[in-house]
Structure 1
């Protein structure tokens, strides 16, 4: 981790623990585009048509405001982020401003000539990969990118090793009732066959799309997955904390939604979270604010009451939310579960990759 990033984390943490009543978000998630070339059964975003997406300069202005507000990491999400032709430009700009940059992609638009740009633009590069079997992958994702992923990931890993790049390549696995019995095989494919640096597991969100509930795993399937993943935790750098793995399916946490800022493709800040716009029954005081018309720092101060009102919400199963919530005040979790348990093992594997030792 860069010194500047470490200092930003420390400053953010101290600001939220010691100084002032206005909380500073640590993580920002921007839906760089709502377009997607997958057709995942548990997500309806691929049905979207492009509408009023921000241009490059508008996103750069928001990135500047995120930095001023004290955000530390910025995730470019979608849809499929690489449908945006300016993604590398925006990620490089964010990184030059001191942000830790992350992206999650289905890798369908990967080009070997872009490996250098990936190394320069991103600190974390997540690849959605839910199965070892093409027919299962297609049943979940709607299209079959799996064989292409199997061909392209080794090219990516070899190219990054030659560049001695520090970017962390992560397999992103969503647990469903279609792939719950192959977590052992998925782990070995990601690490042994494809040579990736780490893996991150998330439980399917049953409210993610109209057909999402059809893929919801049973309690027994969830417990089986927990056991398999936990058994491999000491052998591979799995990015999920031991606390997360022990609580999959039954999380106990205080959300603190201000920790994670959510901005959609039109530059709308969704307060208190990503789900508030689609669930007015649960978030009757949810708010949408156009950041093209309002300054982010002003909006953030004005929305503090909303974030405080939903501070005890724990309805979603998203690991990024759960683990960031635990890190808000639990220094033991930050040092042991997060830093020693996940970050250091992954850094070690990246260093081994770049040294040609695996």
Structure 2
């Protein structure tokens, strides 16, 4: 967990948002070195959300330099420039957590505005354009586990394929 910061505010989140101190890039690099020396080969870069850090590119680069394979998990809407940077780093895939496509439901469970879904569509188009694969994950809770929401999410995913 490289940060407790996040660009969403999920009702089910375990991150302790009141933590003020965050590890520096050099502290993270030191941890990567120690993990690499001890034989660890895979990391999951999560948080909070790594993309809530300004130095996310450096952190991913450092993890690559330390020799790790990893999973990047996010709910952040990535800009095209971010997608290009990920591809330049050789990242083939990003896990994206999508709990609903209903703006009303998303406002309730992850506290985002009504523009989130439209921005998400643009992001997925940019990922396709730049050949960055997206693995979708969903957290079901009482606010999004009815058949209408699940069907809507499935229809959205099918539209993208």
User: Which TM-score applies when normalising by structure 2?
Assistant: 0.84
* Aligned residue in 1 for 2:5: 35
CA RMSD of aligned residues (A): 2.1
* SS, match of residue 112 in structure 2: coil
Higher-Rg member (1/2): 1
CA contact 1:33–1:78 (8 Å) conserved in 2:
yes
Q: Pick from 100, 119, 135: which aligns with 1:148?
A: 119
CA contact 1:92–1:121 (8 Å) conserved in 2:
no
Q: Pick from 32, 37, 60: which aligns with 2:29?
A: 60
For the pair 1:85 / 2:50, whether they are aligned, the reply is no
* SS, match of residue 3 in structure 2: coil
* Aligned residue in 1 for 2:156: 189
Residues 59, 95 of structure 1: alpha-carbon distance in 2 compared, 3 angstrom cutoff: same
Q: Please state how far the C-alpha of 1:123 moved relative to its aligned partner.
A: 4.5
CA contact 2:6–2:52 (8 Å) conserved in 1:
yes
Q: Deviations over 1:223-250 (max 9, x none)?
A: xxxxxxxxxxxxxxxxxxxxxxxxxxxx
User: Which TM-score applies when normalising by structure 1?
Assistant: 0.40
Q: Please state how far the C-alpha of 1:121 moved relative to its aligned partner.
A: 5.3
Ranges of 4+ aligned residues in structure 1 off by more than 4 Å: none
Q: Please state how far the C-alpha of 1:101 moved relative to its aligned partner.
A: 2.2
Residues 63, 123 of structure 1: alpha-carbon distance in 2 compared, 3 angstrom cutoff: farther
CA contact 2:11–2:109 (8 Å) conserved in 1:
yes
Q: What are the ranges of 5 or more consecutive residues in structure 1 without an aligned counterpart? A: 1-30, 161-166, 196-358
Q: What are the ranges of 5 or more consecutive residues in structure 2 without an aligned counterpart? A: none
* SS, match of residue 154 in structure 2: helix
Judging by fraction of residues, say which structure has more helix. Answer: 1
Aligned residues: 156
* Aligned residue in 1 for 2:136: 171
**Distance in 2 of aligned mates of 1:49 and 1:184:** 37
Q: How does 1:248-259 map to 2 (within 5 A)?
A: none
Residues 50, 193 of structure 1: alpha-carbon distance in 2 compared, 3 angstrom cutoff: farther
Q: Please state how far the C-alpha of 1:84 moved relative to its aligned partner.
A: 1.2
* SS, match of residue 51 in structure 2: helix
